[in-house]
Each structure stands twice: as C-alpha cells, then as structure tokens.
C-alpha cells in the first residue's frame, strides 16, 4: 500500500487539504477564511489561522502531521538563467550573484530556490524562483503552531504546471481574489503571472482582465520563441472557479479558435471529490509521485523543494535516536565475544597439553596404530568448539541486523503517526514498546502502520490506558 501524503495550500481566501495514498484520494477539505486573516499570502494572525488548520485536521480525521504545503504566486518572481556549467559546490553562490544582477533585488528580504533543468554544450539552464521571506516565515510559523511539520514547499503556478497533461499548454486558474496564468513550453513554465483581484469585481470585468493578461503572456512567450511559438493548436487548460463554466471558458479564447478545456486530474476518480478545486494540492501530491512511481510522466520538468534550508527537516541518524537499544545489543555481543575468546584460549591450552602428553606417551611406549587412530578422533572432536563458536557469532551478527531494521521501522512509523516512544525492551522473545498517543484511534493506526510495513508477522496492542494528555499503550510486534 502506498504511503499517505498530505498536501496543504493556503491563500488569502481559503485553506485546501488533500490526503492521498499514491494516486488515490483519501480525505479532502476546503475551508473559507475570514477577510484579512491572510493578505497577499502573508499570515496576519498566526494563532487564528493555526486554529482553523487544527479544526480541519480534526474534522477530516487526518492523523499524519508531516505536510507538503503550497503558497500563492502573488509577489513571487521566476527567471530562466543561462550560466556556464559549474560544479555543484559552486552553483549556489553563482546563481545568487546572477539573481541579484538579473532581477535587481536585494537578497535580504527573499528566499531563492532553483533547479538546473538542462546542461548542454558547457552551459546550464537554471529555473530560479524568488519568494518573499515574510510570506514563507509566516506560513511556516503558523504550521508549527498548528502542530504540523513541513517537509516540502512549492508555489501554486508551478504546482499547476506539474498537473498539465500536455508539455505545451496555457494554464489558467482562478479563485475568489486572484488568478494565475502559466505558459508551459516544452516542459518548462517560462511565463508565469499571478495577480490579485478584488472579490467584488463583476464577473465580466474579471474575464476581460484575465483574457487581456492571457494574450499578453502568450505574446511575451512568442517574442522570445519565434522559432517555435505558442500557436492556436496549444490548448488553454482551466481550473479553479472557472472549471466547468462553459460560457466563461469559451470567452477566454477571444476571437481566435484556440481549444479551451478543463485541466484533467491525474488522480483516481472518486465520488464526491471535485478535482478542479484541488489542483494546487494535486500538484503538491505529484511532487513525490513523479519521482517514485515507475513509468510516471512529468510534463513539467520543474520539481524542487522550495522550502528554505533553515526549515528543512534533517533526518537524525538511527544510532542517535536508538542509542540505548544499540548499546545494549552491542554490550551483549561484546560480552559473548570475550567469552568466546576466553573459551577458545582455554580449549587451545588443553589441546596443547594433551598433544604434549600424547607425544611423551608415544616416546615411552609402543603405541598401536589403532590407538593412534582413536587419539586422532579425540583431537578432531576437541577442535570442534572453535568452528561452532564462529557459526554462533555469525548468527548473532545476522540477528543484530534484523533488530536494527526492526527498530528503524518502529521509529519511522512513530514519527509519521505522531506517536511518542517511551521505552523499548529487547528480550529473547522479541521487542516490547511502551508508547503514548493523543487518542486511542492514533494508537490503533500506529499498530496498523507497523503491520502494513511487512516486517512483522503480527502486531499486538496488549494494553491501552487513558492519561491526562491522551493514551499510553503497549505494543508487541511479532516476527
């Protein structure tokens, strides 16, 4: 079963959440926000927005706390840079200098993210994004207040481009207070426009502005690609509020007969799920799917983690997390090794003594051939223990690797489910876990995740006790 991932998108008017297992939608929700809570993507009241997010998680019964989140494209900038091919350790500094030179903006108030999309003839083409610091900082702070852990970040127009079913297309997405236009050329979103609009603007005026900006974006692209322009065969793919509204969609084409159709969802169709309202979340979900799914086709090559380095989760080594069980296993193995050395040394001393005695006896007496054969058998039998001990040590090493893999699975599942591990007991019978969770459902879900990992033949929750902060429980995974 595919691992669940949760996508969260926040703009000025709403919160959108989508939980998927692979391409299968599981849970989804859209919650409208009060005016002024978020302005141009910057959170104005972090506590109030965090309370809204907590409510969405509670009502949607979403257990996973790790999220991939998206922000609006308003006040974000994008640039294609052409630089000499450089080693990876020199690229960041060179791209930062080129960004200052090309865009003419100070770096103190922004975050830069980039991806090398191609390298040809000693030159590399770099897709660069520039995002205001206050926008990212306010959203990340809000997510932490809500108890969520951001794993990755992306920007709405880039998410829309990732959903495209065509390598060349014009993407249009509208919502209550903004719209986004993306001109996707040969798998790269080369022209991106995100503009604010007042919710009170009449629909006719909104369509007129949208059509004007759309034509301007196409003209800008064609001026830079006269060898292969966006012609009338390239479709307009619509999502958001306009999706399904045939008359408004048709008017986007203007006097030209350009095809206009709804942006298709790459996810499994499910009753009650309206993909047109979740296209940004779908694009966030595809970030991992396109990297891990065999045979997945990406019509936009731009796919990088825009979350600044200071916010990215650094994976702690298993040895650091599970140092106590590892030390216990190590002490046992070292003790058995020392015992083995002492045992072998004693056995070898006995063998040497026996050999010397036999030699003296042979010199003193006439020993029959049958006696020599019997003595050789005794020597061979005495040499057996070293070989048996080597086999024992090899078996212990295999068991140690199995225990280490089990502990890594247990710790990873606990992180994913938000479960706190209070203690791990290793014995000859296996592993016993003492853990705590916010609810009984979360404890049971942790047990199911261990069972679905495939490492254990059975997972038993032997006790669950209510506490002031949730429940404490005991889990016994069996092999």
Residues of the chain with CATH 3.30.420.40: 4-311
| pLDDT for res 398 | 58
Cα–Cα distance measured from residue 189 to residue 212, given in angstroms and rounded to the nearest whole number: 19
Tell me the β-bridge partners of 145: none
Cα–Cα distance measured from residue 322 to residue 82, given in angstroms and rounded to the nearest whole number: 46
The gap from C-alpha 299 to its chain's centroid, in whole angstroms, comes to 21
| pLDDT for res 371 | 61
CATH number of the domain at 320-478, out of 3.30.70.990, 3.40.50.300, 3.30.1330.10, 1.20.1260.10? 3.30.70.990
Q: What is the pTM of this model?
A: 0.68
Q: Is 7 in contact with 284 (CB distance < 8 Å)?
A: yes
Could you tell me the CA-to-CA distances from 115 to 57, 68, 77, 160, 457 in Å, in that order?
A: 33, 18, 14, 17, 43
pLDDT tens for each residue of the chain, 479 residues long? 578 899 999 999 999 999 999 999 999 999 999 999 999 999 999 999 999 999 999 999 998 999 999 999 999 999 999 999 999 999 999 999 999 888 888 889 999 999 999 999 899 999 999 999 999 999 999 999 999 999 999 999 999 999 999 999 999 999 888 999 999 998 999 999 999 988 888 888 888 899 999 999 999 999 999 999 999 999 999 999 888 888 888 888 777 778 999 999 999 999 999 999 999 999 999 999 999 888 888 899 999 999 999 998 765 555 555 656 666 667 777 877 777 677 666 666 776 677 777 667 656 665 456 665 776 676 566 555 555 656 655 665 656 777 777 888 888 888 888 888 888 887 766 788 898 988 888 888 888 888 877 778 888 888 888 888 888 989 888 87
Residues of the chain with CATH 3.30.70.990: 320-478
Q: Which fold has domain 4-311?
A: Nucleotidyltransferase; domain 5 (3.30.420)
| pLDDT for res 417 | 84
């Amino acid at each position: 079963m595919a691992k669940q991932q949760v996508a969260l998108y926040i703009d000025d008017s709403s919160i959108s959440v989508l939980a998927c297992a692979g391409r299968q939608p599981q849970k989804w929700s859209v919650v409208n926000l009060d005016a002024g809570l978020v302005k141009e993507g910057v959170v104005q009241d972090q506590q109030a927005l965090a309370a809204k997010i907590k409510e969405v998680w509670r009502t949607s019964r979403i257990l996973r706390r790790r999220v991939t989140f998206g922000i609006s494209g308003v006040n974000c900038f994008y640039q294609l840079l052409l630089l000499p091919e450089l080693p990876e350790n020199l690229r960041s500094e060179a791209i930062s200098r080129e960004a200052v030179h090309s865009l003419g903006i100070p770096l103190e108030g922004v975050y830069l993210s980039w991806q090398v999309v191609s390298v040809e003839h000693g030159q590399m083409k770099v897709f660069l994004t520039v995002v205001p610091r206050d926008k990212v900082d306010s959203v990340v702070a809000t997510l932490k207040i809500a108890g969520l852990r951001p794993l990755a970040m992306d920007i709405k127009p880039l998410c829309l481009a990732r959903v495209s079913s065509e390598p060349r297309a014009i993407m249009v997405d509208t919502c209550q207070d903004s719209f986004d236009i993306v001109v996707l050329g040969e798998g790269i979103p080369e022209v991106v426009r995100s503009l604010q609009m007042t919710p009170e603007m009449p629909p006719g005026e909104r369509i007129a502005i949208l059509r004007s900006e759309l034509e301007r974006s196409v003209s800008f692209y064609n001026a830079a690609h006269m060898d292969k322009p966006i012609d009338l065969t390239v479709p307009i793919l619509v999502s958001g509020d306009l999706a399904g509204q045939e008359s408004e969609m048709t008017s986007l084409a203007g006097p030209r007969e350009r095809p206009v159709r709804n942006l298709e969802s790459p996810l499994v169709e499910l009753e009650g799920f309206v993909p047109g309202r979740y296209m940004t979340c779908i694009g966030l979900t595809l970030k991992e799917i396109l990297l891990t799914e065999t045979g997945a086709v990406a019509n936009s090559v731009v796919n990088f983690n825009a979350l600044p380095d200071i916010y990215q989760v650094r994976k702690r080594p298993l040895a650091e997390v599970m140092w106590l069980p590892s030390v216990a296993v190590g002490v046992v193995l070292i003790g058995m090794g020392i015992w083995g050395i002492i045992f072998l040394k004693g056995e070898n001393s006995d063998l040497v003594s026996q050999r010397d005695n036999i030699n003296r006896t042979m010199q003193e007496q006439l020993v029959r051939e049958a006696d020599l054969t019997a003595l050789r058998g005794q020597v061979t039998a005495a040499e057996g223990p070293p070989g048996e001990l080597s086999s024992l040590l090899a078996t212990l090493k295999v068991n140690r690797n199995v225990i280490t893999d089990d502990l890594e699975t247990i710790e990873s599942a606990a992180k994913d489910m938000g479960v706190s591990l209070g203690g791990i007991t290793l014995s000859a019978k296996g592993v016993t876990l003492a853990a705590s969770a916010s609810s009984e459902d979360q404890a049971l879900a942790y047990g199911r995740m261990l069972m679905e990992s495939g490492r254990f033949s059975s997972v038993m929750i032997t006790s669950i006790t209510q506490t002031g902060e949730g429940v404490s429980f005991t889990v016994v995974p069996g092999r």
